Structure 1
Amino acid sequence: MLDDFLIRAGLAGLGTALAAAPLGCFVVWRRMAYFGDATAHAAILGVALSLAAGTPIFLGALVMALVMATLVTTLSSRNVAADTLLGVIAHSSLAFGLVAVSFLPAVRIDIVAYLFGDILAVGRMDLAVIWGGGGLVVALLCWRWSALLTATLGGDLAMASGINPRHERMVLTFSLAVVVAVAIKVVGVLLIASLLIIPAAAARPFARTPEGMAVLASGLGAISALLGLRLALVFDTPAGPSIACTAAILFAISTILSQFPGLRRG
């Protein structure tokens, strides 16, 4: 019989992966990988502000992720180079967050747990937040799936179909912020992108439809989370990085298998 903390850890990893993987498909399609990193890095500043104000960590991380994403979206529309802007905001917010934490001597905090995750310390309330936030993201993606796909194909096509591409981008921005906020406890801000991007990238060569890619990415994300957790327990390695390494191995296997034409998508 598994211990309670192992069951909670497995459920936390599963809930995070099932929400992150479908969203990761849009991140891959839209080439928003760096955007996801910047959003995750901004969350550490939200953690520091939450600790200072005595508010839930999830709330602070979510607010800061949304603020960062909105700031990038606004400034990038004013002819500011997107990659430069993302680089400045990502590293600046992470640095300010780490400095802000150092000004909280009265608060005992293991900053490594927020950088690389602490899935084995997940509690019942954390599980409720992870599955609640993950369920919200999945429901939002299902509701806006057609519009999101159309906007991803092209802004002109979206406008011709009566869809506001800016609105759909904000839907993705909000979803990304929620996933970042719920994933901090599982893999940490430095490894969140691994659950967003790697399962989707591994699923891409074998998917015939966007929906198929999302389902396959979810399956690979779930395998990465559960198998990575198992390997961490067997080899006594950090759980968050072990999950990311497992996802990377699955991507390597996918890349090798994709070289065989009979296994690729039609």
Structure 2
Amino acid sequence: MLDDFLVRAMLASVGVALAAAPLGCFVIWRRMAYFGDATAHAAVLGVALSLAFSLPIFVGVLAMCLIMAITVSSLSGRGFAMDTLLGVMAHSSLAIGLVAVSFLSGVRIDLMSYLFGDILAVGKSDLLLIWGGAATVLFLIIWRWSGLLLSTLNADLALASGFKPKQEQMILTIALAIVVAVAIKVVGVLLIAAMLIVPAATARAFSQTPETMAIVAAGIGAFCGLAGLQSSYYFDTPTGPTIVCVCALLFVITTIVARAYRVLTTGEKV
């Protein structure tokens, strides 16, 4: 069954969605959208280093994403405004990565596939990495759910409950780096942040509790992955961007519907 490239693409899109969407809920709750973007941009430098030292792409990308995330976490609150710090590091790492790739001689690289993804080229080994990474991220989220949630809501409450906010933030950072490393093949560096944020933002309209939002976000992400893949096949469009377009369209539709529902039921002004 896995010899069919479309089946592998479907499994890859679902695997990435199941990991990215629940994690995206924490990204939204903590207002870390630009943090995810900065971590994703560091992946290009990881690709360049992997090719330069003949390492697996996954290893180099994961290492650079971890370095970026840990560096930003360490420097935040030490005289640097978070948005300024993230802006500098995100664009600098992307630019350095692109320059580094240009210096690689004797290595053929399809840069577009890393920037926007190439889900149709996912192989069996890639599929194993994607689902292994997704399982790891889901395990971390479920295992540390209470600590992550309390640390997100109130650091003092988390400390009083026996959790360490800094440790929980580091776990979230590691999970984010893993998601970026496994998602680069599916949607690419420039679109990973969308897969983190848009399904979670869409799920907010249907959710009354944090747990519900995480579960609904995972379902929405998986649906958008499959629908985007089908739309890409039908309209002959780039697959990664098409998946994100489906996510964005669903977000717009649900926002309008939710707004209309509130107007009809509560009399709220438009």
Please say if residues 8 and 127 of structure 1, whose CA atoms lie closer than 8 Å, have aligned partners that are also in contact. yes
Contact conserved, 1:199 with 1:220, CA < 8 A, in 2?
yes
Maintained 8 Å contact 2:116/2:240:
yes
**Residue equivalent to 1:26:** 26
Please state how far the C-alpha of 1:158 moved relative to its aligned partner. Answer: 1.0
SS at match of 2:189: coil
Paired with 2:154 and 2:111, the residues of 1 have a C-alpha distance of 41
Q: Residue 237 and residue 179 in structure 1: after superposition, are their counterparts in 2 closer, same or farther (change >3 A)?
A: same
Matched residue SS, 2:184: helix
Give the aligned partner of residue 60 of structure 1.
Answer: 60
The total of aligned residue pairs comes to 264
8 Å Cα contact 2:22-2:214 kept in structure 1:
yes
* 1:65-98 deviation digits (Å, cap 9, x = unpaired): 0000111011113121110000000000000000
Q: Structure 2: how far apart are the matches of 1:255 and 1:147? A: 30
1:152-171 alignment to 2 at 5 Å? 152-171=152-171
Alignment of 1:1-266 (within 5 A): 4-259=4-259, 260-261=261-262
Q: Is the 8 A contact 2:2 2:124 kept in 1?
A: no
State the SS of the aligned residue for 1:106.
Answer: coil
Check the 8 A contact 2:2/2:8 in 1, yes or no.
Answer: no
Contact 1:206–1:263, Cα closer than 8 Å, also in 2? no
For the 8 Å contact 1:118–1:188, the answer to whether it is kept is yes
Q: What is the CA–CA distance in structure 2 between the aligned matches of 1:178 and 1:3, rounded to whole Å?
A: 26
The 3 A distance-change label for structure 1 pair 190 and 16 is same
How far did 1:258 drift? 1.0
Letter in 1 for 2:154: G
Alpha-carbon RMSD across the aligned residues, in angstroms, is 1.5
1:183 Cα deviation after fit: 0.2
Deviates more, 1:157-166 or 1:93-102: 157-166
TM-score, normalising length: structure 1: 0.97
Q: Is the partner of 1:151 in helix, strand or coil?
A: helix
CA-to-aligned-CA distance 1:168-220 (integer Å, 9 cap, x gap): 00010000000000000000000001110000000002101111001100010
Q: Which runs of 5+ in 1 are unaligned?
A: none
Cα distance in 2, alignment partners of residues 140 and 41 from structure 1: 23
Tell me which amino acid in the other structure corresponds to 1:69.
Answer: A
Q: Give the C-alpha shift of residue 153 in structure 1.
A: 0.5
Kept after mapping to 2: 8 A contact 1:39/1:180: yes
Q: Is the 8 A contact 1:45 1:64 kept in 2?
A: yes
Is residue 119–residue 240 contact of structure 1 (8 Å, CA) maintained in 2? yes
User: Within 1, Cα distance between the matches of 2:22 and 2:145?
Assistant: 10
* Further displaced range: 246-255 or 73-82: 73-82
Distance 1:39 1:25 in 2: 16
Percent sequence identity over aligned pairs: 65
Counterpart AA for 2:226: L
